[in-house]
Amino acid sequence: MAFVFRNRRDYSSWSDKKLVSAVLDGDQEVIVYFFYKKFSATFQYHIYKLFRQKVDISDLVDEFFMYLYESDWKRLRAFDPTKAALSTWISTVSYRFFRDYKRSKIDLSGLITISNKWESFRGDWVESIDTGVDMDIKNAIENIKSERDKEIAKRLFLEDAEYEAVAKEYGMTTDYVYTVKNRLLKQIRKELNGYC
């Protein structure tokens, strides 16, 4: 499914609080931006690492959307910008969702089961954030040999930079940034082989 951003508002300049508020208010364009653009690389990274077999990434992101949307965005309303950045919060919550989804929805042969254990997710995520995940990602990025690719990886994966912004910074087309991102994902996945 292709999404078109009609009026091209510059969401990258929005604060975490403003972005979350717009999602909670039901701004459809912001919701699409939030789930399918801003945090797309984060979701893809977790899914690639957790699911060894081929899966439909968009379907899993849709499932995560429904997970946060449930009970009038109950889980997203738990986000507290005074405790963590939105990128850290969404990375932690989405990783745990995809991890638990894999454990409860897919059995060892890859077949869908009827278990819904992922629904037992506890909102008190702050007490048990897995800082090791972030450290492993940062270490993997530091091991990238090309200095330019290393900087691009930091901008995309650690700072959640917009593709357009990175393209402008490095004099590339947006399509080329997507290509670089996919190549970097493969490199980072090799570095983190054995994680999970």
Q: Give the position of tokens 């990783």.
A: 95
First vs last Cα of the chain: how many Å apart? 30
- Mean of per-residue pLDDT scores for the chain: 76
Residues 6+ apart with CB under 8 A from 163: 156, 174, 177, 178, 181
Residues 6+ apart with CB under 8 A from 7: 29
Domains of the chain: 13-128 (no CATH), 130-196 (1.10.10)
**Over the stretch 34-45, which tens digit does the pLDDT of each residue have?**
988 889 888 988
What pLDDT does residue 135 have?
65
**Over the stretch 76-97, which tens digit does the pLDDT of each residue have?**
999 988 888 898 899 889 998 9
Residues 6+ apart with CB under 8 A from 99: 46, 50, 196
How many C-beta atoms lie closer than 10 Å to residue 44's C-beta? 16
0.75 exceeded by the pTM?
no
Separation in Å, CA 2 to CA 67, 149, 154, 177: 22, 27, 27, 18
Residues 6+ apart with CB under 8 A from 151: none
Looking at the DSSP bridge assignments, the partners of residue 106 are: 112
Distance CA 182, CA 180 (A): 5
